[in-house]
């Protein structure tokens, strides 16, 4: 053993001590060692290099630094790099969940996988419950149409931003009180459902139909002026007649009235005009019906 060998062994011992004390160590790159020691020193340097990289990666992971770049080709780093990869993927998955993707599933992190998947399942159930609550808050349970709350929200939205003119139609099912009193509420409910179907089938995909309550319905026709509203009224009349031809036992009679708003400030007034027109239609239909009875 020469002097260079002795100095190297002392330095190597210090590096190993440093590693054992969780401090940084670095390769020694010795030269001039005796023939037996030089290859050993080179392999020890490779080991020190790997262990130093392993230490840096361990510290980075312990500190939550997933972006830490690691050298390729070291078997010693393999398991930790796999953990780093799993945590990076988990980060990505969590970002997807944050953006609303509840299809993410973890199956590579032991007990944590179960906990994560249970959390996702709970979020899915919460989302379903929220969707159900939202549906119920916006829809009428008897007809499945939108309800008054949705209609009011939609009007508010149109006041804030909408394509004008906007036409509003009020529809009222005639004689519902009499049917309820004489034939029972279950028959009245059937008539309301039938009226809802007739109204629904006559509208376009952008039109909004709501049951405001009892026998009253309202329709919003975005972007429709007076002539388009008249066309829809005519279509509703035809649908009503067709429905009554098919089902003569419990015919429905719907009074209709339309109002047109030319800008957002005119919406409330248009609704009032539609209401008035509906009552005028109801009176006219009643008078016509009386005339027909008298003629008979």
Residues that bind another protein (CB under 8 A): 72-75, 77-79, 81-82, 85-86, 88-89, 92, 96, 99, 101, 103-104, 108
Q: How far is the CB of 68 from another protein (least distance, A)?
A: 12
Residue placing its CB nearer to another protein in the complex, 64 or 73: 73
Q: How far is the CB of 42 from another protein (least distance, A)?
A: 17
Among 163, 172, 280, 159, smallest CA distance to 218 is for 172
Residue placing its CB nearer to another protein in the complex, 81 or 146: 81
Q: Pairing between strand 208-213 and 216-222?
A: antiparallel
| For helices 185-201 and 226-246, angle between their N-to-C axes, nearest 10 degrees | 130
Are residues 168 and 276 in contact, defined by beta-carbon separation less than 8 angstroms? Answer: no
> Could you tell me if residue 147 is left (phi over 0), alpha (psi between -120 and 50 degrees) or otherwise beta?
beta
Tokens of 155: 């009007």
Residue placing its CB nearer to another protein in the complex, 36 or 100: 100
Q: How far is the CB of 65 from another protein (least distance, A)?
A: 14
Q: How far is the CB of 106 from another protein (least distance, A)?
A: 10
Residue placing its CB nearer to another protein in the complex, 86 or 193: 86
Are residues 131 and 139 in contact, defined by beta-carbon separation less than 8 angstroms? Answer: no
């Amino acid at each position: 053993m020469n002097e260079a060998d002795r100095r190297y062994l002392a330095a190597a011992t210090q590096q190993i001590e440093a590693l054992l004390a969780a401090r940084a160590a670095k390769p020694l790159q010795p030269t001039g060692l005796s023939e037996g020691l030089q290859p050993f020193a080179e392999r020890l340097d490779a080991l020190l290099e790997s262990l130093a990289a392993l230490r840096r990666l361990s510290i980075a992971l312990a500190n939550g630094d997933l972006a830490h770049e690691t050298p390729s080709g070291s078997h010693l780093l393999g398991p930790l790099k796999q953990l780093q990869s799993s945590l990076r993927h988990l980060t990505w998955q969590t970002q997807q969940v944050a953006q609303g993707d509840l299809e993410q599933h973890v199956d590579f992190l032991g007990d944590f996988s179960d906990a994560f998947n249970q959390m996702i399942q709970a979020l899915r159930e919460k989302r379903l419950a929220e969707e159900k609550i939202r549906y119920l808050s916006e829809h009428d349970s008897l007809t499945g149409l939108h309800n008054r709350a949705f209609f009011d929200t939609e009007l508010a939205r149109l006041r804030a931003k909408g394509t004008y003119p906007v036409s509003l139609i009020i529809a009222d099912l005639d004689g519902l009180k009499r049917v309820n009193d004489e034939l029972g509420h279950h028959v009245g409910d059937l008539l309301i459902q039938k009226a809802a179907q007739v109204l629904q089938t006559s509208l376009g995909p952008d039109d909004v139909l709501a049951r405001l309550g009892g026998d009253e319905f309202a329709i919003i026709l975005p972007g429709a002026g007076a002539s388009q509203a008249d066309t829809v009224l005519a279509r509703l009349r035809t649908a009503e007649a067709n429905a009554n031809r098919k089902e003569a036992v419990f015919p429905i009679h719907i009074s209709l009235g339309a109002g047109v708003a030319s800008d957002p400030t005119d919406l409330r007034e248009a609704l009032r005009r539609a209401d008035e027109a509906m009552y005028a239609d109801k009176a006219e239909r009643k008078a016509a019906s009386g005339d027909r009875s008298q003629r008979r």
